[in-house]
Amino acid sequence: MINQDFFLALADLERQKGISEQDFIGALEEALVSAYKKYSGDASKISVKLIPDKKTVKFYSVKTVVEEVVEPEEEISLEDAAKVKKSIKVGDVLSVEFVPKNFGRIAAQTARQIIMQKLREIEKNNTVSEFEDKEGELMVCTVRRIEDGNVYVELGGNQIEGVILPRDQVPGEKYELNQKLNVFVKKVKNFGKTAQIVVSRTSTGLVKRVFENEVPEIRQGLVEIKAIAREPGQRTKIAIYSADPEIDAVGACVGAKGARVNAIVNELGGEKIDIILWSENPLEFISKALSPARAIKIIQTGETSALAIVPDDKLSLAIGRSGQNARLAVRLTGWKIDVKSESAALDLIDNAEQQEETETEE
């Protein structure tokens, strides 16, 4: 039933699936016990021992030695046990090897089904164990196949499969077989007997990790990433800060002649990046967040809302194409920002003053 090739394949199984030979043998021993019981109808306690060194499989009937047998499937009398082993005593467990009769094709098929189930369980557990502490990390993967809009990738030394779902794919980014990618590990999901590693190219976490890789000052904690707002494939705004006045936080992220930020832009497929110096003053932070536009004035209009006044000729730049620049500034700061041109703001102020005068006269 189990030939020499099977035992030789155990090493390949460990290399390809990350399943240890010991775990696999344990699963196979359990499977053979279940298959034998199902095929034979034998309710007795059975154990199976695989011996890779000798490339053999042994079956044992296991019974507890008792004075008087009450459950024949699990017990054996001291008198009968002594015929097998003279030194045995009550309470001992007697294992007697036997050769299963007619344990052929049907039993082998049953064993195979159970083995595959056990392998899936072991593989899932190994996957969860290896990746549960990698959530939130950056990993290099290789694209292996593309099906139904999902991109399936190979992760880690054990070639564990991950998936980039459509919502985690950058619009317009093309994926090709055997392509190497940096991905952000979002979640290790359990689906009953299987596990799935969900990775992303659109997460703000990807941007954060790429900056950490490229900027030593961030890795060392000298420069801190305060916030990130991103529209994948188009534009990212990142707010950074250093408590050390001697450190040029923006300069550290840009690098000499833009080397660091250019490397990050290339990694993100040409995505534009605005590096903004964070400020504890929210109005000052809002002004910086509207970069590359320059605000003339920021007026607080509510607890977390503000009016940003920009030159008339810079209004479109401040708002951005389809409102993108203003939208990202809102996400970055957490404030509601109303962007107005200088002339529109003056008209707004004049109208407000006229209304106030009218109300006073009345």
Domain ranges within the chain, ordered by starting residue: 4-129, 135-199, 203-278, 282-362
β-strand pairing of 46-51 with 194-200: unpaired
In the block, tokens 């047998």 appear at 69
Q: What are phi and psi of 358, to 5 degrees?
A: -65, -45
Query: HSE on the CB side for 54, CA within 13 Å?
Result: 6
Residue 300: predicted pLDDT:
94
97 sits in the region (left: phi over 0; alpha: psi -120 to 50; else beta) called beta
In the block, tokens 């054990």 appear at 158
Residue 21: predicted pLDDT:
73
Q: What is the CATH number of domain 203-278?
A: 3.30.300.20
Residue 329: predicted pLDDT:
97
Residue 170: predicted pLDDT:
95
In this structure, the chain runs to a length of: 362
Q: Which CATH number fits domain 135-199: 3.50.50.60, 1.10.287.3510, 3.30.450.20, 2.40.50.140?
A: 2.40.50.140
User: Cβ–Cβ contacts within 10 Å for residue 177, how many?
Assistant: 9
Q: Does the fold of domain 282-362 match that of domain 203-278?
A: yes
Residue 23: predicted pLDDT:
73
Gap between the Cα atoms of 288 and 18, Å rounded: 49
Q: Which CATH class is domain 4-129?
A: alpha beta
Nearest to 137 by CA among 80, 197, 205: 205
pTM for the predicted model, two decimal places: 0.66
Residue 135: predicted pLDDT:
85
Whether the upstream peptide bond of residue 292 has omega within 30° of 0, thus cis, is yes
Q: How far is CA 66 from CA 10, 63, 73, in A?
A: 40, 9, 13
Buried b / exposed e over 203-238, threshold 16 CB at 10 Å, is: bbbbbbbbbbbbbebbeeebbebebbbbbbbbbbbb
Residue 279: predicted pLDDT:
96
Residue 94: predicted pLDDT:
93
Gap between the Cα atoms of 351 and 362, Å rounded: 17
The CATH superfamily label for domain 282-362 reads: K homology (KH) domain (3.30.300.20)
Tens digit of pLDDT at every position of the chain (362 positions): 555 556 666 666 666 665 667 777 787 788 888 888 887 877 788 898 888 777 778 889 999 999 999 988 889 999 999 999 999 999 999 999 888 877 766 656 766 676 677 677 766 676 666 677 788 899 999 999 999 999 999 887 666 788 999 999 999 999 999 999 999 999 877 655 566 789 999 999 999 999 999 999 999 999 999 999 999 999 999 999 999 999 999 999 999 999 999 999 999 999 999 999 999 999 999 999 999 999 999 999 999 999 999 999 999 999 999 999 999 999 999 999 999 999 888 877 666 545 554 545 55
